[in-house]
Structure 1
Amino acid sequence: MAFIQQFEQHNRWRQLRTQDLMRLGQWLEAHDLLDEGSRARLANLQAQLASDRVMVAFVAEFSRGKSELINAIFFAGYGRRIMPASAGRTTMCPTELGYEADLPPCLRLLPIETRMQAQSLLEWRSAPEQWQRIDLDVNQPEQLAQAIERVAQTLRVPVEQARALGFWHEDNPQDNPAPGPDGLVEVPRWRHALINMAHPLLKQGLVIVDTPGLNAIGTEPELTVGLLPQAHAVVFILAADAGVSKSDLAIWREHLAPVAERSEARLVVLNKIDVLWDELSTPEAIEAQIERQRQHSAEVLGLQGQQVFAVSAQKGLLAKVRQDAQLLQQSRLPELERALADDVLGQRRRLLQSALEQAVHQLRTEVERQLQVRDHEIEEQVQELQSLRGKNATVIRQMRTRIELEQTEFDQSAARIQALRSVHLKTLRRLFALLGSNQIKSEVAELALALKQPGVKLGVKKIYTSTFARLRQNLAETQGLADEVHEMLSGMFRNLNAEYGFTLQAPLRLDLSRHLQAIDEIEITHLQYLGVTNLLRLTQAGFCERLAKAVLSRLRHLYEEASNEVELWSKTAAARLDGQLRERRRNFARRIEAVHRIQEAAGSLDERIDELQARQAEVGAEQTRWQQLCTEVSRPDAAGATLVPDAAGVARSERPEPALSSASG
């Protein structure tokens, strides 16, 4: 139950933080402190929290009990199996379980014949008419399970067609399906399956990826280089009695080891330990046998022993359905669930909390600076007006003339500031061009052309390496331009501070190193497809087209993220300058108004000074309240919280008692 409970708490934490950010934005807007940079940063954080997904990928060769493990962890609350888990091959195609609010509960199936066409899986997702759709009744577990059984459907096709689809390989005859008396072989009927259902965990952002068998992974580049690298946990399932087989090791080395190195959690499960429960052996002997298999599997896969879990998914599911606590402990399923909860959700929480704290810290610093500017300007006005005590009308007129002269000089400086901005914007345009889609297409054009060449592609690996070298150089050039912009802003702000008394501070240096690291990761995950073991696959035009599109899709997503980061960074810098220019203009207007009122006897000098001092006290209170709000939104609540409105209608939190949704198992 640990994973379900902690996932629900994680979701409540996200809701609470979203409400906190909304409260920050409302407060800033109410106090005229919400500039475009702050608005963009808050919107970005809220979107990040709202769209956060936790993806857990289950990968195994056939008949390892993978679907049963998914049933046991996530769907025991239905009181029966939801994913097909009978003997033999069950889930024949990669299957994603998630939730999209704008779609009814349904199962969508993409025909296997689409592999004969060049479109990528991402492109097929945008063509709903090409998928077979079956509506699901989530309140009828039996109907739900029967509908989902379609992911196990197969077709019988000629060997030539199986070869074209990627299920027949002359170089690995032992892995080919056995032809029947009619010469036909069995292949999956569907290429990909998407299950949309309003299960409590899926609604809260859980995405489950069920990826069956070596053939399914090896023939779909987008799985290994798209879906699996995005997974926050990769759960690799082995059979407890067999340990690491040859095909298991092939999946691990060729497809999972590079992904697992960078995933937030990489767990290996020795499933079906109940087959080792031998009544003729002592419990100690059974335990020793399980431990030997666990340690041996860890050694073969190059993992630490604590990353391998021995469980019985079938007994765990049975124990949950029957509410048999003793059998549940014997199944050892709770140990795996706790590891998923601690490793996956704990890491997600830390990453989100870190991003939240960093952004709020920057926002807090900037707003405090604006409030300090307000306080300083009010204090200057108080001193200015106090100096008028006992002065005659001539002195007051002279003060007004001096203020108007200062305002005129300030307005004349706007042209200079605009010139500096134009240089800044010109450099930014060059920076955005380096991250644009045309730039990516240009960089990968040579690789795409090489992959489209017919026959064996002996030189493609060299072209691939040079392509990624250019991509790294491109990002390095982008980083150099960003540093140039940063230096330019820093110099501009220093000059404005010195000449006009501003308190501008340049934004932190933009760091694109994580995107450079992502380039390295993409290169590694695709490189496996260019080795000797894939020479025959590389002769297939459809496979090469899918590989090229998978590379381009990952890179396009990466560059879009970098471009968005640059845009937010630039907006923040511009907003800081705009904010202080706006405050300075308002200050001139207030000073002139104060002198005018005194000249026209519309208010006494002491009354105006009292008004300013009262406003100064308000600014002090605003500073205190702002610090409280920032502290609240940055607190790393470990437990979940329920949102309730306070007297002012702003959402606050109360600690709930731990509770489980009955449908979540």
Structure 2
Amino acid sequence: MTRSFNQQFDQHGVWRRSFAKRLKWLSGWLAENELLDQAVAERLRELEAQMRTSKVMVAFVAEFSRGKSELINAIFFAGYGRRIMPASAGRTTMCPTELGYDAAHPPGLRLLPIETRLEPHSLIHWREEPLRWTDVPVDVENAEKLAEAMSKVAEVRWVPLAEARALGFWSDDAPDENPMPDDQGRVEIPRWRHAVLNMPHPLLEQGLVILDTPGLNAIGAEPELTVSLIPQAHAVVFILGADTGVTRSDLAIWREHLITEGDAGDTRIVVLNKIDTMWDTLSTPAQIDAQIERQRKGAAELLGVPLPQVLPVSAQKGLQAKIRRDAPLLQASRLPGLEAVLGEGLLGKRETMLRLAVDAGIAALRAEASRILHVRQRDFSEQALELQGLRGKNVSVIRHMRTRIEQEQSEFESSNVRILALRSVQGKLLREVYAVLGSTALKADMAHLAAALKRPGIKLSIRKIYGETFDSLRNNLREVQATTGEIQSMLHATFRQLNAEHGFTLQAPAEPDLMGFEQQLSQIEQSHVHYLGMSNLLKLAQADFCDKLVRALASRLRVVNEAAMTEVERWSKGAGAQLDAQLKERRRNFGRRLESVERIQGAAGNLDERLAEIAAHESGLTELQQRLNELTSLLTSNEAPAAPATASAVGVVSAA
């Protein structure tokens, strides 16, 4: 029996919450045993943020009247016992609508006025301008009130042709795509540019984000939606009408707006909705199934997708069946089959990616903490050998040992000049990285692109124009890669020297590989060039369209550059934190050695007692290593977590 998307997402949420609980326990245990140095703390923060902020976005895309909003109601909101998204006959969702949950903000619907299109800013900019949005409070416990609030995404305005043209809803070059004016010559346009619903729905609380998009006319007016939001969705559900098959406008949306960046795999799902229109009392079930199958095959061939990714469904009957708890009707609607594909394909793939990231993060965290324990183990062993050498020695020998330890300590501190020089050079090179990938450099590249796009005439050389821009962006990443290689060579040389001089176990972390970011740039380039096919090429003659396109591109490129800088910064911090940890341990070791000599010299404790204490601490370190392995293994398993032992149970050996 297949599990619904909701059930699979619930299970995904349980796993994430369990992981967060285990991670919190591990963090407390590491802090209690003084193993939470900067590098380990950074790993913990990364893992916690990854699990807390990881979102799964599903974009629903269709031409008007394909039952898209009804499908969202059937899959996600049937528990309310009524429709939440407006799904009446005709045009319903008039603006892109995001449904998600952020606990930092109260539940509510935020609406961005359509007039903001007249200003030179991207949607990302407007997200940071709360005063420009219209806020509508929502009562998530009251289905009627919630549905009433959501009806606002269907609101429209009737405006003169000049205003519609300025806002991007009327094109003199493509009259066939224009809406029908009324008897006063006015055109219907959406009242809102974008809507964001924040509500504590069980699935949204666990990180699901639903993107409900309007039809072709509205999508075409918002390049950022096509080249930024939709491509970043983890899955795109494209809805067709079973009664109409693939229409010309359906095909236009598919070819121009559902751009595949690389291999889409199972991320593009085609839904053949409204199969209930084929339920004919004059036809046998076999005949109806054969008719549906013909529509499936036709859609798969026209869209160029594998047949298993074309799924017939009746959203309306599925919603009705869930509300009425009518199992036979639910099966007839074939909704469970779509939910299973969404859950197994989308969530399965997403969870696999998260688990791989978790495994890598936990392995690195364990290595960092184990390195600290190894340094302590080595220091205790050296201290034991040093004290054993005092057997039978007189007071002058013990005093001489104290002088030698103090001299070693002084020489060690003087070697910090080399470490400071390393950090100075490292900081200078990192500043160069930030300059290459920072906002100033990106603005310059975008300015050159905008200038090229705004040259007079039809841009038949669009591939060349974009190619030059993206070659420059890729060269920036290669320049950064060369800089990190220079830093890496310097780290290797300095760490080898420090290891030889002071017995450290420093190991430069693996240099960041920026090739993946280059591939992301190539995919974004492919998206834009594909989007600017012949149907959109004429729009490049419009300066405001070029501005919107460049702003949308800049938004995506900024994310790539920031991710690359974060990768470089994480690598640099890892090297620095490792050095800080070993410097700290070495200084504590000098303190422990001096304390031991003082106790023996002052007869505060005899030699055998001190050696027994060190042996006990070494044994405690072994127990700490075993417990570290157990706790980190729990984070990569599905077992129920056991409460970690406290520091007092295993002995805090670091303070000895």
TM-score (normalised: structure 1): 0.92
SS of structure 1 residue aligned to 2:282? coil
Is this contact kept in 2: 1:450–1:457, CA < 8 A? Answer: no
| Amino acid aligned to 1:20 | R
SS of structure 2 residue aligned to 1:592? helix
Structure 2 counterpart of 1:617 = 619
CA distance in 1, matches of 2:554, 2:541: 20
| Amino acid aligned to 1:568 | R
CA shift for structure 1 position 75: 0.4
In angstroms, what is the RMSD of aligned CA positions?
Answer: 2.2
Is this contact kept in 1: 2:266–2:309, CA < 8 A? Answer: no
Is this contact kept in 2: 1:232–1:264, CA < 8 A? Answer: no
CA shift for structure 1 position 104: 3.3
1:338 aligns with 2:344: no
CA distance in 2, matches of 1:57, 1:570: 37
CA shift for structure 1 position 134: 2.5
Is this contact kept in 2: 1:62–1:88, CA < 8 A? Answer: yes
Structure 2 counterpart of 1:204 = 206
Structure 2 counterpart of 1:251 = 253
Structure 1 spans left out of the alignment, 5+ residues: 650-665
Structure 1 counterpart of 2:73 = 71
Q: Map of 1:518-529 to 2, 5 A cutoff?
A: 518-529=520-531
Structure 1 counterpart of 2:328 = 326
CA shift for structure 1 position 457: 5.0
SS of structure 2 residue aligned to 1:195? strand
CA distance in 1, matches of 2:206, 2:406: 58
SS of structure 2 residue aligned to 1:535? helix
Is this contact kept in 1: 2:219–2:225, CA < 8 A? Answer: yes
CA distance in 2, matches of 1:555, 1:297: 34
CA shift for structure 1 position 262: 4.4
| Amino acid aligned to 1:17 | F
Is this contact kept in 2: 1:479–1:511, CA < 8 A? Answer: yes
Structure 1 counterpart of 2:470 = 468
Q: 1:402 to 1:117 in 2, by over 3 A?
A: closer
| Amino acid aligned to 1:383 | L
Aligned-residue identity in percent? 57
Stretch deviating more after TM superposition (628-637 or 50-59): 628-637
SS of structure 1 residue aligned to 2:255? helix
1:182 aligns with 2:184: yes
Stretch deviating more after TM superposition (90-99 or 255-264): 255-264
SS of structure 2 residue aligned to 1:207? strand
Q: Map of 1:396-411 to 2, 5 A cutoff?
A: 396-411=398-413
Q: 1:100 to 1:416 in 2, by over 3 A?
A: closer
Q: Kindly provide the CA deviation profile for residues 359-410 of structure 1, in whole angstroms up to 9, marking residues without a partner as x.
A: 1111211221221221122122222222222222233233333333332332
Structure 2 counterpart of 1:426 = 428
Is this contact kept in 1: 2:259–2:531, CA < 8 A? Answer: no
Q: Kindly provide the CA deviation profile for residues 449-471 of structure 1, in whole angstroms up to 9, marking residues without a partner as x.
A: 33455775566553322111100
1:108 aligns with 2:114: no
Structure 2 spans left out of the alignment, 5+ residues: 648-656
CA distance in 1, matches of 2:179, 2:542: 20
CA distance in 2, matches of 1:346, 1:439: 38
Q: Map of 1:34-113 to 2, 5 A cutoff?
A: 34-113=36-115
CA shift for structure 1 position 426: 2.2
CA distance in 1, matches of 2:431, 2:115: 44
Is this contact kept in 2: 1:228–1:259, CA < 8 A? Answer: no
Q: Kindly provide the CA deviation profile for residues 257-303 of structure 1, in whole angstroms up to 9, marking residues without a partner as x.
A: 32584487221100011111122222112112212221221222121
Stretch deviating more after TM superposition (281-290 or 160-169): 160-169
| Amino acid aligned to 2:310 | V
CA shift for structure 1 position 106: 2.5
| Amino acid aligned to 2:544 | G
SS of structure 1 residue aligned to 2:259? helix
Structure 1 counterpart of 2:281 = 279
TM-score (normalised: structure 2): 0.94
Q: Kindly provide the CA deviation profile for residues 81-102 of structure 1, in whole angstroms up to 9, marking residues without a partner as x.
A: 1111111211121111122334
Is this contact kept in 2: 1:240–1:271, CA < 8 A? Answer: yes
CA distance in 1, matches of 2:637, 2:486: 35
CA distance in 1, matches of 2:643, 2:585: 33
CA distance in 1, matches of 2:586, 2:90: 75
Is this contact kept in 2: 1:117–1:542, CA < 8 A? Answer: no
Q: 1:431 to 1:123 in 2, by over 3 A?
A: closer
SS of structure 2 residue aligned to 1:257? coil
CA distance in 2, matches of 1:492, 1:635: 38
Q: Map of 1:118-517 to 2, 5 A cutoff?
A: 118-259=120-261, 261-262=263-264, 265-452=267-454, 456-457=458-459, 461-517=463-519
SS of structure 2 residue aligned to 1:309? strand
Stretch deviating more after TM superposition (502-511 or 21-30): 21-30
| Amino acid aligned to 2:201 | H
Stretch deviating more after TM superposition (522-531 or 478-487): 522-531
Is this contact kept in 1: 2:40–2:368, CA < 8 A? Answer: no
| Amino acid aligned to 2:371 | R
Structure 2 counterpart of 1:555 = 557
Q: Kindly provide the CA deviation profile for residues 519-553 of structure 1, in whole angstroms up to 9, marking residues without a partner as x.
A: 11221222234443223322333322221111111
CA shift for structure 1 position 113: 2.7
CA distance in 1, matches of 2:22, 2:493: 35
